[in-house]
Amino acid sequence: MKYLDEYRDAAAASKLADAIARTVTKPWTIMEVCGGQTHTIVKYGIDEILPEQIELVHGPGCPVCVTSLEMIDRAHAIAARPDVIFCSFGDMLRVPGSRGDLLSLKSQGADVRTVYSPLDAVNLAAANPNRKVVFFAIGFETTAPPNAMAVWMAHKRKLTNFSVLVSHVTVPPAMTAILEAEGNRVQGFLGPGHVCTVMGYDEYEPIARKYHVPIVITGFEPVDMLEGVLMTVRQLESGRAEVENQYSRAVLRAGNEHSLNLIGEVFEICDRKWRGVGLIPKSGYKLREKYRQHDAERLFEVENIETEESSVCISGQILRGLKKPHQCPEFGKRCTPQTPLGATMVSAEGSCAAYYNYGRHLAGISLPVLAGGAS
Amino acid sequence: MCLAIPGKVVQKYQEHDVLMGKVDFSGVTKRVCLEHVPEVEVGKYVLVHVGFALQCIDEDEAQKVFDFLKSMDQLDEINEPQASP
C-alpha cells in the first residue's frame, strides 16, 4: 500500500456513491473547506456522481486566494529592494497585487525565488550573509509548523538576515464567519484533513454543537471525499451534528503535539483580513515578540499602500458558499487564470480557477468520472 | 496549498541538530524535515507538506475504508434475493 492510488480506485468510489444515493432522502448543502478538496471534486467530477439532492459548495480554504491585497503589495515593495532575496512558494508569484505580480517584478530584475520549503530559504540566508532573505510565510495551520520551524532554526543559527512576511490564516474562525453570515446555506462541512493532522479536531466540537452542523474531517483523494460525504449525509439524515474523523490514517484527535508546541512558541493569534471576505477576528497568526528580529513587516516599513479590488468580482460570495463560479458574468470571459479579477481565480486551488482549468466554463461539457482511477 | 503527499522514509539523519530524512515519493527522493515525527522508522510512511513531515500514516486506519466497502459487499450478498430452485 502506498496510500495514494488505492484511494483513487473507481470501483471503490462508485460503491460509496451508491451508498450515498441509498442514504439520502432530502436536499442537503455541504461545504468542503479546503481548496485542495475543491480541486479533487472538480478534477474527478465527484459532484457529478453524487445524487442531485446533494450540493457541494466550495469554501475559503485557499490561502493564496485569501491573502489580502495589502499583504501582496507589501511583498511586492519588499521584493523590489536591491538588498533583498525574496522567497516564496510558487503559487504566490502570479497573484496580482495593485502594482503587478512578483513574477513580473522578477522579470524586471528583482531577486525573487521560488522555494519548495521554507527551510530552503533558511539555508539560502546562511549561504548569503550579505543579503537579506525574506520568506513570504502564507498558509493555513498545515503550513504553520514548517514556517515556524524556519523561524526557529534561523533564530537558533543566529541568521539575522532571515525574516518572514507572515500572513497566516486559521480555519475555525472562517467556518464560524460563514455560519454566522446572512443567507448562509451550509448544513454540513467536510473538515480540512491536513489542517487537522497538525491541530487535531477538538476545536471543531464547539462549532458543531453551537450551530448544529456535522463536521467530518476528510482526506483529499476521491475515495476519502466520498466517504466524507457519506458520513456527513448519514449525520444530516439522522439529525446528528458531531465531529467525525474520516481521515483517521493521518489525523489524531489531539493533532501533532510537537507541531502545536512549536506553533505556540513562534506564533500568537491575531486578527487577519481575508481577501474577498474582510477582517475576521482572531483568524491569523503573527510572530511573537521574541522573534521580532525575523519579522519582515517590522524590518521593512512599507507605507502608503492603497489597494483597489475589481468591482464586478463575486469571489467574496463564492468563498462563503453563496455562489458558484459559473454564476459570475465575467467567469471565463474577462476573468481567467491568466487575467484574474479576484481571489478565487488567482491560485490553481481557488474555486474559479479549478472550474476553469477543468473546463467547467464550457457549456455542455461532459467530464470523465474517475476514468482509470489514478491521475 | 495544503497539499500533503505520503512518502516512504528511506533514511534518517541529523542536520544542525534537527532530525531530517530522505523520503521516497514513488521513485523521487526528497530531503524532508522529520523533527515532528521523531518516532518514525525507516520503511514507514509519513505525510509530507512543503518538505516537512506532518504526521505518520497509520497502516491499520488506512485499511478501514476498504474493510467497510468489503462489509458492504457482504451485506449486498445477504440482501440479494435468493434464486429460485
pLDDT on residue B78: 67
Chain B's closest residue to A123, CA to CA, is B16
Binned at pLDDT 50, 70 and 90, residue B71 comes out as confident
In a domain, A206, yes or no: yes
Question: What is the mean predicted confidence (pLDDT) over B50-78?
Answer: 88
Using the 8-state DSSP alphabet, how is residue B80 labeled?
S
Interchain pair A63, B51: CB under 8 A: no
What are the extents of the domains in chain B?
Answer: 5-79
Using the 8-state DSSP alphabet, how is residue B27 labeled?
T
Q: pLDDT at residue B54 above 50?
A: yes
Considering only the C-alpha atoms of chain B, give the largest distance between any 2 of them, rounded to a whole number of Å: 75
Interchain pair B62, A61: CB under 8 A: no
Among residues B4, B16, B8, which one has the least CA distance to residue B43?
A: B8
pLDDT on residue B80: 60
Q: What is the 3-state secondary structure (H, E, C) of chain A?
A: CCCCHHHHCHHHHHHHHHHHHHHCCCCEEEEEEEHHHHHHHHHHCHHHHCCCCEEEEEEEECHHHHECHHHHHHHHHHHCCCCEEEEECHHHHHCCECCECHHHHHHCCCCEEECCCHHHHHHHHHHCCCCEEEEEEEECHHHHHHHHHHHHHHHHCCCCCEEEEEEEECHHHHHHHHHHCCCCCCCEEEEEHHHHHHHCCHHHHHHHHHHCCCEEEECCCHHHHHHHHHHHHHHHHHCCCCEEECCCCCCCCCCCHHHHHHHHHHEEEEEEEECCCEEEEEEEEEECHHHHHHEHHHHCCCCCCCCCCCCCCCHHHHHCCCCCHHHCCCECCCECCCCCCCHHHHCCCCHHHHHHHCCCCCCCCCCCCCCCCCC
Provide, as residue numbers in chain B, all residues whose Cβ is less than 8 Å from the Cβ of A118: 50-51
In a domain, A304, yes or no: no
The number of folded domains in chain A is 1
Interchain pair A2, B51: CB under 8 A: no
Taking only the tens of pLDDT, chain A with its 375 residues reads 778 888 999 999 999 999 999 999 999 999 999 999 999 999 999 999 999 999 999 998 889 889 998 999 999 999 999 999 999 998 888 888 888 889 999 999 999 999 999 999 999 999 999 999 999 999 999 999 999 999 999 999 999 999 999 999 999 999 999 999 989 999 999 999 999 999 999 999 999 999 999 999 999 999 999 999 999 999 999 999 999 999 999 999 999 999 999 999 999 999 999 988 889 999 999 999 999 999 999 999 877 677 777 788 898 888 888 899 999 999 999 999 888 888 788 887 889 999 998 887 665 444 444 544 333
Interchain pair A19, B72: CB under 8 A: yes
Q: Which three cell numbers stand for residue A274?
A: 481575508
How far apart, in whole angstroms, are the C-alpha atoms of residue A228 and residue A215? 9
CA dihedral A48, A49, A55, A56 (to 10 degrees): -80
Residue with cell 461545504: A31
How far apart, in whole angstroms, are the C-alpha atoms of residue B39 and residue B58? 13
pLDDT in tens, A240-273: 999 999 999 999 999 999 999 999 999 999 999 9
Q: Residue B38 to residues A97, A171, A253, B34, B41: CA-CA distances in angstroms?
A: 40, 27, 19, 6, 9
What is the residue range of A324's domain?
A: 1-297+309-360
pLDDT on residue A374: 36
A61 touches chain B (CB under 8 A): yes
pLDDT on residue A124: 98
Query: What is the nearest CA distance from A144 to chain B, expressed in angstroms?
Result: 10
Euclidean distance between the first and final Cα of chain B, in Å? 59
ipTM, 2 dp: 0.90
Among residues A10, A350, A32, A372, which one has the least CA distance to residue A219?
A: A32
pLDDT on residue A312: 86
Binned at pLDDT 50, 70 and 90, residue B83 comes out as very low
pLDDT on residue B23: 97
Topology, domain B5-79: SH3 type barrels. (2.30.30)
Q: What is the CATH number of the domain that holds A194?
A: 3.40.50.11740
Provide, as residue numbers in chain A, all residues whose Cβ is less than 8 Å from the Cβ of B77: none
pLDDT on residue A368: 44
**Inter-residue contact A262 to A152 (CB < 8 Å):** yes
pLDDT on residue A43: 92
Provide, as residue numbers in chain B, all residues whose Cβ is less than 8 Å from the Cβ of A61: 2
Q: Apex CA A236: angle with CA A234 and CA A237, to 5°?
A: 65
Q: Specify the DSSP element, H or E, that contains B83.
A: none
Percent of chain B at pLDDT > 90 equals 66
Query: What is the nearest CA distance from A183 to chain B, expressed in angstroms?
Result: 28
On average, the pLDDT of chain B sits at: 89
Q: Residue A229 to residues A18, A88, A126, A187, A374: CA-CA distances in angstroms?
A: 12, 34, 47, 12, 20
pLDDT in tens, A60-108: 888 988 999 899 999 999 999 999 999 999 888 888 888 888 999 999 9
- Orientation of helix A35-44 relative to helix A222-238, angle to 10°: 100
